[in-house]
Amino acid sequence: DTEVTQTPKHLVMGMTNKKSLKCEQHMGHRAMYWYKQKAKKPPELMFVYSYEKLSINESVPSRFSPECPNSSLLNLHLHALQPEDSALYLCASSQEILGMNTGELFFGEGSRLTVL
């Protein structure tokens, strides 16, 4: 069983909807990530949080809004999405010591998003 839990596993939304993806880990990791993965493609980094602060934003459109309310939780708020935003959204976490990533990324099972 994965130690990174993502909900919901599947989400269908219209272009005018507002929804959120949630991610939770209890491994004490202080770095958390959102990746986007289209079918048959590798994951693409979207955001990185380090100690609950946004440290990397890979020029992601503002219709995606990340939030890290505490060290265990990571949200991705979705608003006014486009059909091309349909993808698998993967959350991950890793240990971090003094700004250095010290191990592998642990991924969740992902949330499959379909935008109609």
Partner 1 sequence: AQKITQTQPGMFVQEKEAVTLDCTYDTSDQSYGLFWYKQPSSGEMIFLIYQGSYDEQNATEGRYSLNFQKARKSANLVISASQLGDSAMYFCAMREANDRGSTLGRLYFGRGTQLTVWP
Residues of the shown chain interacting with partner 1 in the complex, contacts defined by CB under 8 A: 2, 31, 33, 40-43, 45, 48, 50, 55-56, 88, 90, 92, 94, 96, 99-101, 103-110, 112
Residues 55, 48: contact at Cβ < 8 Å?
A: yes
- The encoded tokens of residue 53 equal 């602060």
State the nearest-atom distance from the C-beta of 75 to partner 1, in Å: 17
Q: Where are the beta strands (DSSP E) in 2-86?
A: 4-7, 10-13, 18-25, 31-37, 44-50, 53-57, 64-70, 73-79
Q: Which one, 15 or 97, has the nearer CB to partner 1?
A: 97
Q: Which one, 15 or 27, has the nearer CB to partner 1?
A: 27
Q: Which one, 25 or 94, has the nearer CB to partner 1?
A: 94
State the nearest-atom distance from the C-beta of 96 to partner 1, in Å: 7
